[in-house]
């Protein structure tokens, strides 16, 4: 199905420069786009590729309106958001048909709304509820007394331990495990004794959990992931962690038990957060950094242990001069020794 360029612009509050009647059927990269495709230019370094592209129209931001003269343009205030919105329009995800596959196993007391989809070999434990429009895909394992909210999607081989709750429109990708035991042990007389983990995991609405990520259930109470938070692949969230709204946790980040993250916190790739500390609203931890102490709101930190970003940059600059400084210090020591 095609859309007029003017229709697409209206979808994102943008405007057209060029032919508003041009028909667009898909979004493709600059190098493979054709005359009925929309492509995008977000970085001026690629203006040469944009000029050579066979795309029928280009999505650009306000700063790049003049980058490729003579082309049909869809101009948006926020081109990244516009691209996301238009991808959903032009490449909609196929809706799974409602119904329960005959190979799925529903234990006694499990409830599946008639408008939900349950795929092959999925298992839904006793007392669990799957709401309207939710999709439980092949080989998903849902424990007892779980809740899968309206429109939520659980991809193949996702696992929900007992009492886990997944909010409306949330997405859990393949291999993710929600509600496994928190890592809690008491060492007594030289042996590690397991501390029972009797809490649960709650994902609020519009959360996304990447493939292979794990969110441990609380020892007591809840491990809770706030509304709109997005978790990348291979992220570890420890027991009793609480995140605020709209956090971003990038790949291989790790959060130790009982840490608290405010709203809009960002953890870059392979960063770590120590247990029992708090990251304020809007705090950011740089890649491969370790926040070992609490971080003030709207503060960027980096390094191990993580310190305020400007301080870390000064430390790195000094470290690069360390050999020179040591050489000069030895020369001074030698000179002083000779003078004595």
Instruction: For residues 266 and 246, give the distance between their C-alpha atoms in angstroms, rounded to a whole number.
Output: 9
Q: State the SS3 of the chain.
A: CCEEHHHHHHHCCCEEECCCCCEECEECCCCCCCCCEEEEECCHHHHHHHHHCCCCEEEECHHHCCCCCCCCEEECCCHHHHHHHHHHHHCCCCCCCCEECCCCEECCCCEECCCCEECCCCEECCCCEECCCCEECCCCEECCCCEECCCCEECCCCEECCCCEECCCCEECCCCEEEECCCCEEEECCEEEECCCCCEEEECCCCEECCCCEEECCCCCEEEECCCCEECCCCEECCCCEECCCCEECCCCEECCCCEECCCCEECCCCEECCCCEECCCCEECCCCEECCCECCCCEEECCCCEEHHHHHHHHHHHHCHHHHHHHHHHHHHHHHHHC
In sign, the C-alpha dihedral spanning 327, 329, 333, 336 is positive
**Which member of 101, 117, 239, 246 is catalytic?**
239
**193 counts as catalytic:** no
CA 19-20-23 angle, to 5 degrees, is 90
Residues sharing a CB contact under 8 Å with residue 30, sequence separation 6 or more, in sequence order: 39, 40, 41, 46, 49, 50, 52, 53, 55
Q: Which residues are catalytic?
A: 239
């Amino acid at each position: 199905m095609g859309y007029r360029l003017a229709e697409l612009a209206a979808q994102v509050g943008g405007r057209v420069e060029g032919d508003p009647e041009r028909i667009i059927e898909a979004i493709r990269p600059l190098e493979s786009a054709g005359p009925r495709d929309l492509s995008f230019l977000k970085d001026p370094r690629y203006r040469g590729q944009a000029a050579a592209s066979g795309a029928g129209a280009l999505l650009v931001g306000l700063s790049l309106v003049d980058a490729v003269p003579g082309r049909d343009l869809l101009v948006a205030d926020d081109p990244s958001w516009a691209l996301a919105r238009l991808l959903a329009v032009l490449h909609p995800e196929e809706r799974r048909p409602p119904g329960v596959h005959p190979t799925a196993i529903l234990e006694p007391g499990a409830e599946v709304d008639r408008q939900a989809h349950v795929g092959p070999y999925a298992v839904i434990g006793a007392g669990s509820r799957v709401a309207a429009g939710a999709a439980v895909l092949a080989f998903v394992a849902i424990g007892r007394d779980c809740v899968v909210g309206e429109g939520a999607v659980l991809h193949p081989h996702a696992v929900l331990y007992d009492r886990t709750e997944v909010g409306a429109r949330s997405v859990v990708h393949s291999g993710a495990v929600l509600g496994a035991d928190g890592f809690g042990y008491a060492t007594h007389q030289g042996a590690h004794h397991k501390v029972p983990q009797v809490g649960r995991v709650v994902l609020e609405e519009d959360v996304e959990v990447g493939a292979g990520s794990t969110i441990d259930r609380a020892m007591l109470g809840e491990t809770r992931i706030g509304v709109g938070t997005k978790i990348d692949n291979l992220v570890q969230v420890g027991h009793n962690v609480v995140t605020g709204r709209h956090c971003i946790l990038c790949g291989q980040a790790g959060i130790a038990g009982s840490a608290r993250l405010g709203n809009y916190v960002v953890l870059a790739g392979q960063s770590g957060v120590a247990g029992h500390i708090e990251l304020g609203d809007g705090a950011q931890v740089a890649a491969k950094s370790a926040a070992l102490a609490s971080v003030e709101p709207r503060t960027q930190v980096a390094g191990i242990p993580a310190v305020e970003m400007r301080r870390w940059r000064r430390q790195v600059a000094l470290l690069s001069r360390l050999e020179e400084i040591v050489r000069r210090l030895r020369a001074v020591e030698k000179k002083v020794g000779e003078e004595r």
